[in-house]
Amino acid sequence: MRSLISWTVRNMPAMNTLVVAILIVGAMSFAGMRREVFPEFELEIILVNVPYPGATPEEVEEGICQKVEEACRSVSGIKKLTSVAQEGVGFCVFELDSGTKDVQKVLSEIRSEVERIPSLPELAEDPKVEQVTLRNPAIKVGVLAPRVAGGVSESELRDVAELVRDDLLALPAVSAANLQGARDYEIDIEISERMLRKYGLSLRNVADIVRRENLELPGGTIRGESGEILLRGKNKRYVGDEIATLPLVTLPDGLVLTVGDLGTVRDDFADITATNRINGQQGMVVSIDRSSGEDLLAMTEAVNAYVAKVSLPQGYQIVTWADQSIDVRDRLEMLLNTGAQGLLIVFVILSLFLNLKIAFWVALGIPFCMLGAGGLMFLTDQTLNMLSMFAFLMAIGIVVDDAIVVSDNIERHRRLGKKLVPAAIDGTAEVAPSVVSSVTTTVITFLPLCFVSGVMGKFIAVMPFAFITALIMSLGESLLILPGHLSHEKGLVFTVLGWLLFPFRVFLPVLTWLQKGCDQGLQWVVRNCYRPLLDLALANRLSTMAVALSVLMMAVALVRSGVTPFSLFPKIDANRLLAKVTFPDGTPSSVTDEATKRIEQAAFQTGQELSQSDDSIVRLVHRSVGQIAAQGEVGPDARVSGSHVGAVAIELVDGESRDVTSD
C-alpha cells in the first residue's frame, strides 16, 4: 500500500487527469441517465387471460380456470399459480421461481399448453398469454367539455380528446398516449323480429352476411405485355351509412334489399358503463404512459409545454394531474441542496479546525464520489430514481469521513517537522489499514442487499449499488488522490483561487483568530470532558460494557414491543388520494355513480373547510365509473371494469401550500 501511495503522490499530473476525467464523465452520465420514480424491471409473472362473455364466475371457473390449471401443471419453473374467476373473464397468474433464467421459454411453454386445450367453451374468446409488466402513467391529461345544458355529445368530446392524443403522440418525448375509460366505437344494426321472420332471416344470418360482404381482399395479378395489374376487391365499409348499403336479401324478382332497408344502422359506442368527470365537468382522460427506456422528466416537460400552448375549440379546457415527475424533481433538488450544504459545512468546519487547503480538498471529495458513482451507474445501465437518490443522500454524510481522517493524520505528521511529500506518504500509509477496514465494514453491511431475491431484490438492487460505489470512490479518493493534493504547498488550483479571491484576503486575520479560538476550545473539551470520561470508562470496563449492553437490549425491546414501530417504507405526506368503490357484480351503474358522487362532493367540501384562504387545498378531482386502474398493481386486479366499480382520484395542492397533511 505504501508503494502505491508513494507512486500517486509523485505522479500527480496523471492523478489530476484522472480526477478531471471522472468529474467530466460523471457529469455527462448524470445528464444522460434516465430519470424515473422507481426502478423498472421485468416481473417473473405470467398472466393468462381468457374472456368468456356472459358467463357467471362459476362457469368461468369450471370452463376456463380449472382447465388452464390442469393443462399447465406439468410446466417446470412455476412457483405459485393463482386463478381468478370473474363475470365474463378468467385469469390465471403464474409466479415463476426466482432463479428462472429464461422467462420467455416458460412463457412459450405455457402458451403452447393453453393453445392445446381442446375443450374450452365455444363462446370463449382466444386466450391471451403475456408476461406482466409494471407500467404506470407518467402524467394524465384531462379534456374538459364546455358547461352547457345537457352536456356535449360523447362523439364530439371523443373527437377533441383524440385530437389531443394525436398531438401528444407527435411529441418526440412521448411514445404512448391512450384514452382511459373511453368506450370503443361500435356500429349497431337493429332489425325487428317481424322483418326477420318476413324474409326468413336470423340475427346470426345477418351477421354472417354482413361479415361476408364487408371485406377487402387481394384478387391476384394480371400479367400482360405492358406490365402487371394488381387486382383487389374493395368492399370494406367503415361507418354506419356505408354499412347500410350492403346487400342483405335478393328477392325472386331481382330486387336487392340492403341492411338499411330492413333495419336501422347507426354509429354508436360499446354498450358498457364509462363515466368520467373532472372537477365536476364532463371530460375524457388521456393517459401518457412511459416505457422503461424513456426519461420521465423529459416526457412530462414536453407534455406540460404542449398543454400550456394548445388551442382547443371554444369552451373546452385542458388540465394535467398525477404528474409522477414532481417527486423525482423534488428529490433531485434535495440531493443538490444537500450536497451543496454538505460541501459548505465540511469546508467551514475544517477551515476552523485545520486550514483552508485541507478544507477545500476534503470538500471536493463529495462531488468526486457522487459523480464517480454516477458514471459507474450509467455504465451498468442503472437509472436515477427515488432509491438511488436516497442512497446518495445517505452517502453524502459518510464519504468525507475517510478524507478527514487521512488529512488530519497528514497534518499531524507535518507538525512533527516532516516535509510535505514524506508527511503525505507516511500519514496516509499509517491510517490506510484503519480506513480500509472502516469502509469495508460499511460495505459488508449493505452488501447482502445486493443478493435479495424475488421482486423486492430487483426493486432495491440499485440502492446498495449506488451506496457501495460512492463509498469505494471515497476510499480511492482519500488514499490515492488526496495525499498528492496535500503534498504541495502551492498548486495551480490554489494560485487561480488566490487571484479570484484576492478581495477577501482582508478576512484572513478574522479566520486566523477563529481558528485559534476553536483550537483552544477543542483542547479544553478534550482535557476537561472527554479525557476524564474516557479514564472513567477504562477504569470501570465491566460497568461500561454492561451499560452498552443494556442500551442495546432496550433498543431491541422497544422495537419488539411495538413502542418503536417498524416500517420498511415510512408513511410520508402525499399530494394524491384514491378512493375505490366496488359493489357486487351486476350492480346497476346508477348505484355506483351515486356512491362516487358522494365521495366527490365530500372531497370538494372538505377541501373548502380545511383551506386557510379562498383557494381550496383540493386542486383536482377525477371521478370515474365503469373502470378503475390500480396504480402499481399487477395481474387481474390491475384493471377492473364493469358497472359495479368506480373510483375518485383527488389531487391536493403542494404540501408547502397547505397546513394539513393528506391523512
At 468, list the grid cell.
Answer: 457501495
Q: Cell digits for 546?
A: 454492561
- Mean pLDDT check: name the lowest of 28-42, 197-211, 244-258, 487-501: 487-501
Q: Is the pLDDT of residue 403 over 60?
A: yes
What pLDDT does 490 receive?
66
Query: Across the chain, which distance is largest between two alpha carbons, in Å?
Result: 123
Model confidence over 361-378: pLDDT tens digits?
888 888 888 899 988 988
* pLDDT number for residue 346: 76
Neighbouring residues of 312: CB distance < 8 A, sequence distance ≥ 6 = 143, 160, 164, 318
- Residue 368: HSE in the Cβ half-sphere, 13 Å Cα cutoff: 26
- The candidate with the shortest Cα–Cα distance to 639, out of 160, 39, 52, 84, is 84
Q: For position 6, what pLDDT does the model report?
A: 84
| Nearest partner of 47 among 107, 117, 109, judged by Cα | 107
Do 245 and 263 meet the contact criterion of CB atoms below 8 Å apart? no
Phi, psi of 381 (to 5 degrees): 60, 40
**What's the pLDDT score for residue 499?**
64
Locate cell 482535557: which residue?
527
Question: Which set of grid coordinates corresponds to residue 223?
Answer: 400479367
- pLDDT for residue 551: 93
Place of cell 381468457: 50
Confidence of residue 599 (pLDDT cuts 50, 70, 90): very high
Helix (H) or strand (E) holding 300, with range, is: helix 296-309
Q: Contact 321/211 with Cβ under 8 angstroms?
A: no
Identify the burial level of 475 via C-beta atoms within 10 angstroms of its C-beta, where 0-12 means exposed, 13-18 middle and 19 or more buried.
Answer: buried
Distant-in-sequence, close-in-space partners of 445: CB < 8 Å, separation ≥ 6:
none
Residue 569's pLDDT is what?
63
Calculate what percentage of the chain has a pLDDT beyond 90: 8
Query: 398 vs 472, which has greater pLDDT?
Result: 472
* pLDDT value at 273 more than 60: yes
Residue whose C-alpha is closest to residue 181's, from 592, 642, 650, 603: 642
Report which of residues 634 and 303 the model is more confident about: 303
CA–CA separation, 284 and 622 (whole Å): 10
Cell triple for 633: 398493481
**Angle 51-56-58 (CA atoms, 0-180°, nearest 5)?**
105
**Residue 253 CA to chain centroid, in angstroms?**
68
Domains of the chain plus CATH, in order, are 2-33+327-484 (1.20.1640.10), 45-131 (3.30.70.1430), 137-184+272-323 (3.30.70.1320), 186-217+232-269 (3.30.2090.10), 576-657 (3.30.70)
Closest CA to 93 of 41, 39, 42, 43: 43
Model pLDDT for residues 223-252, shown as the tens digit of each residue: 877 778 888 878 888 888 888 888 888 888
Give the count of beta carbons closer than 10 Å to the beta carbon of residue 203. 11
Instruction: Write the CB contacts of 637 (distance below 8 Å, at least 6 apart in sequence).
Output: 84, 630
